[in-house]
Amino acid sequence: MRFNQLPTPVYVVDEERLKKNLEILRGVRERTGCKILLAQKAFSCYAFYPLISGYLDGCTASGLYEAKLSFEEMKGENHVFCPAYLDGEFDEIARICDHIVFNSLRQYEKFAPRARGASLGLRINPEFSTQGGGIYDPCAPFSRLGITKAQFKYLPDGVRGFHIHTLCEQGAEDLAETLKAFEKNFGEYFKKLEWLNLGGGHHITRDGYDIKLLESEITQLSDKYGLQIYLEPGEAVALNAGYLHTKVLEIVKNGMDIAILDASAECHMPDVLEMPYRPPLKDSGKPDEKKYLYRLSSRTCLAGDIIGDYSFDKPLNEGDILSFEDMAIYSMVKNNTFNGMPLPAIAAKRGENYEILKTFGYSDFKNRL
């Protein structure tokens, strides 16, 4: 299939760009001895799991469904962390997961006796934020995620590792500062453990990331305490490896030109509104950077379903295809059918050829209601 044969809206994962990221991550693994897991909360397009399994060590999950997906589709280790496990799900989690991380000592005491054969860990809150708050900051004041030093009364005999997750789209410098606080508050226990999981949020595959510093931090921890180090990147696996192609349906005027698309911020790229952020768009500029300015919006009834203001060298016309970039991550995994909006198809790009992996229809809307 060629590009002009693709339906819209459609998420497209570029296999070559995905491989480029995976090769960078494999290099970190090989040079440090750390293990790297795909954080499925960012990217769960399991058609690519056979490819990913050739580069990474497995997956990490946030609950039973992600854990089952990893168990069924990915070769390698299967890890899970959840702030509170469900009684009715835990036995299946214990059966299919290699590592199980608990958010509190109470959760550990409740479920550890049922976790036969898994390596058990505790989620730690080092109480050191490098983000300054927001919905993606696990170390913000009053966070429910992880055990603080004041709450850490003892190290249970069956605990084999600690897990932290403090970063979001950040560099190795922030990790280095976080590890100082982590070691200061909990380092006395490290010699009693087998592994440390440093979570996700490591933007390892972006331009300018200090990979040498990351590798130095991993090696120092591993050598000093004899620990297996794990990383759980999500974005870094599929960063800049995907697009959301959308069609211009209509252009209306109300003080400015407004293009109505068949894609939606609310439904198909919800982080645009949640974070919020302005997604990169191929062949466009910032407002007033180019000659023709448009506000890009959707055909939902939500007045605030606005992607952003973009400028172009030429006027937009009905039927034009626009390509939003970096849309493999936190897109397919977070989309929804609000307003009865159809879900975008999912496709793979291999060289100049495209393959439709999945399409959705009315039944996908109806069957979840």
pLDDT digits 0-9 by tens, 337-355: 999 999 999 999 999 999 9
Instruction: Identify the pLDDT of residue 214.
Output: 98
**Residue 101: CB atoms within 10 Å:** 27
Query: Which whole-number Å values give the CA distances from 100 to 69, 158, 166, 226, 236, in the listed order?
Result: 16, 12, 19, 21, 23
Whether residue 342 has a cis bond before it, omega within 30° of 0: no
pLDDT (mean) for 38-48 = 98
pTM of the model: 0.96
* pLDDT single digits (tens) 232-290: 999 999 999 999 999 999 999 999 999 999 999 999 999 999 999 999 999 999 998 99
Show the tokens assigned to 42.
């960012």
Show the tokens assigned to 169.
């789209």
Give yes or no for a contact between 195 and 161, defined as CB atoms under 8 angstroms apart. Answer: yes
What are the residue ranges of CATH 2.40.37.10 in the chain?
3-11+242-327+335-366
268: left (phi over 0), alpha (psi -120 to 50) or beta: alpha
| Domain 3-11+242-327+335-366: CATH superfamily, name plus number | Lyase, Ornithine Decarboxylase; Chain A, domain 1 (2.40.37.10)
Instruction: Identify the pLDDT of residue 179.
Output: 98
326: left (phi over 0), alpha (psi -120 to 50) or beta: left
Is 90 exceeded by the pLDDT of residue 310? yes
Q: Rounded CA gap, 352 and 12, in Å?
A: 12
The rounded Cα 163 to chain-centroid distance in angstroms is: 17
Strand partners, 36: 231
**Residue 286: CB atoms within 10 Å:** 12
Tell the residue number behind the tokens 């590592």, with chain if given: 99
Instruction: Identify the pLDDT of residue 134.
Output: 85
Share of the chain above pLDDT 90, in %: 98
Instruction: Identify the pLDDT of residue 170.
Output: 96
Instruction: Identify the pLDDT of residue 369.
Output: 96
Strands 242-253 and 321-325: antiparallel
Is 90 exceeded by the pLDDT of residue 226? yes
Instruction: Identify the pLDDT of residue 356.
Output: 98
Per residue, the 3-state secondary structure of 9-48, as one string, reads CEEEEEHHHHHHHHHHHHHHHHHHCCEEEEECCCCCCHHH
Q: Rounded CA gap, 274 and 270, in Å?
A: 6
Show the tokens assigned to 233.
């990147």
What are the residue ranges of CATH 3.20.20.10 in the chain?
33-238
CATH pick for 33-238 out of 3.20.20.10, 3.30.70.920, 3.40.190.150, 1.10.3660.10: 3.20.20.10
Nearest residue to 236 via CA among 274, 198, 283, 181: 198
Q: Rounded CA gap, 52 and 258, in Å?
A: 40
